[in-house]
Structure 1
Amino acid sequence: MIVVENLNYSVANAQILTDVSVTLPKGGITALIGPNGAGKSSLFSHIARLLPMQSGRITVDGMDVAPANRQELSRKLAILPQQVHFATRLTVKELVQFGRYPHCQGRLRAEDHEMVAASLTAFGLTALADRFLDTLSGGQRHKAHVAMTYAQDTDYLLLDEPLNNLDIAASRALMALLRRLADEEGKTIVIVLHDINFAAQYADHLVVLKDGRIEREGAPVDMVTGALLADVFGTNAQVAVVGDTPFVMP
């Protein structure tokens, strides 16, 4: 599990995160949700060690993230940040191979090639393996980056707004795949989402942030309510529950 203790973060005179303490369970999908500027990506970036720790402590299965050896940490956490820059003349297969770097430092062995092939298959990219990234659609390219993260073969996958710029079909397909990885392969997936309905439908656990603080957390059916939408998101939209899944009505 991921344990965040007394995390504070500020930029200049602006307080971004204030005394954030939260435990993200091992296994399943945990979604970080909240309005723009709530601190979701800042919390994510601290867990992923993309931002320096100013105060507080974060551990992953007991490993202290801040002083951890980079290679050791990269065998525990696979990270896809919100902004990803890519070399256009890489092929899809070459990109996915980068996910194996923590294990082989660029000298791919048989097991690394097997994991790359499995990643391409899992994400439906085998037919595109030899295509250059700049010849793909935005959705295909995005899927390739997630496949690279999966190829790292870690217990934890951290994805910051992976549905950005994806249409509804691609978004549903990606979330369904992540759900399968959690259910069938025991992956722990921490994901930043803006779409509450996707979070409610696919996540096991929601962490709701507002103004840099943890507002509440729990199962989607308990969290996604009219009161949450009013108190946290400032909207009076209604919520319908179908089975155990809440949906925010348009």
Structure 2
Amino acid sequence: MIELKNVSKRYSGEVAIGPLNLRIPKGGITAMIGPNGAGKSTMLTMIGRLLDMDEGTIEIAGQDVQSTKSGHLAKVVSILRQENHFVTKLTVRQLIGFGRFPYTKGRITSHDEEVISKYIDFFRLEELQHRYLDELSGGQRQRAYVAMVLCQETEYVLLDEPLNNLDVAHSVEMMRHLKDAAQSLGRTIVVVLHDINFAARYADYICACKEGRIVEFGPTDEIIRDEILTSIFDTQVKVIEGPKGKIACYH
């Protein structure tokens, strides 16, 4: 479980996040949704200890994020931010191998090579593993980044808008991979999503944010409703039942 207690972050007297109180259950996919500037990415990066909070506590699997040693925390939670600045003359396999750093400190063993191959196979990157990052399409590169994070083999995985710059087909493919990782690998995945229909289709829980606060949290079916989405996005939203689940339509 991930638990936030009275977490706040202040940027100025007029811009603040929190206080945030939240319990994200173990297992499945939790999607963070909300309008731009709602605080979704800020919350995620505080959970992943990439951004300091001003007040409050965050625990992941009972470990205090602020006080736990980095080496230990890196074996509990992994995070992928929106901005990735990797050297383009890395191969896909080399990139994914970075996920093993908390265990290897840069010395890859035969066991680590097996783990790397596992995630190359999982994300269907076999034919691309020896190609350089700058030779890949945006969708291929994004799959490699997410494979790197999964290769860290943490129970908790944080992803900040992994569908950024992906077309619909590649977004569907990515969400299917994440759903499979949650189910078959037993990961707890927390993901910031811009498109609420991907959240409706693939998430088990929804955390809805607005103006730096958590306004709704619960099972997906309880949150993907006309009145709740209309309130969150300040525009009329109609939820209809499609052949594969609920679809939100803006009016």
The alignment's TM-score, normalised by the length of structure 2, stands at 0.97
Quick check: 1:34–1:210 contact (8 Å CA) kept in 2? Answer: yes
Task: Report Cα offsets for 1:42-62 as digits up to 9, x if no partner.
Answer: 100100001012100000111
Distance in 2 (CA, whole Å) between partners of 1:129 and 1:244 is 33
Counterpart residue identity of residue 60, structure 2: V
Decide which moves more: 11-20 or 28-37: 11-20
Instruction: Report the secondary structure of 1:249's partner residue.
Output: strand
1:100-179 equivalences under 5 Å are 100-179=100-179
Moved over 2 A (4+): 12-16, 241-245
Quick check: 1:221–1:244 contact (8 Å CA) kept in 2? Answer: no
Q: Which runs of 5+ in 1 are unaligned?
A: none
Distance in 2 (CA, whole Å) between partners of 1:27 and 1:244 is 22
Task: Report Cα offsets for 1:180-213 as digits up to 9, x if no partner.
Answer: 1111111100000010000011000001111111
Quick check: 1:220–1:246 contact (8 Å CA) kept in 2? Answer: no
Task: Report Cα offsets for 1:144-171 as digits up to 9, x if no partner.
Answer: 1001001101111110000000011110
Question: Post-superposition shift, 1:225?
Answer: 1.4
Distance in 1 (CA, whole Å) between partners of 2:171 and 2:244 is 21
Cα distance change, pair 166–244 in 1 and its aligned pair in 2 (3 A): closer
Q: Which runs of 5+ in 2 are unaligned?
A: none
Quick check: 1:4–1:23 contact (8 Å CA) kept in 2? Answer: yes
Share of identical aligned residues, percent? 43
Task: Report Cα offsets for 1:108-136 as digits up to 9, x if no partner.
Answer: 11110000001111111111111011111
Decide which moves more: 96-105 or 235-244: 235-244
Q: Which residue of 1 aligns with 2:33?
A: 33
Decide which moves more: 240-249 or 171-180: 240-249
C-alpha RMSD of matched pairs (Å): 1.2
Q: Which residue of 1 aligns with 2:211?
A: 211
Equivalent pairs, count: 250
The alignment's TM-score, normalised by the length of structure 1, stands at 0.97
Q: Which residue of 2 aligns with 1:85?
A: 85
Cα distance change, pair 182–218 in 1 and its aligned pair in 2 (3 A): same
Question: Post-superposition shift, 1:243?
Answer: 7.1
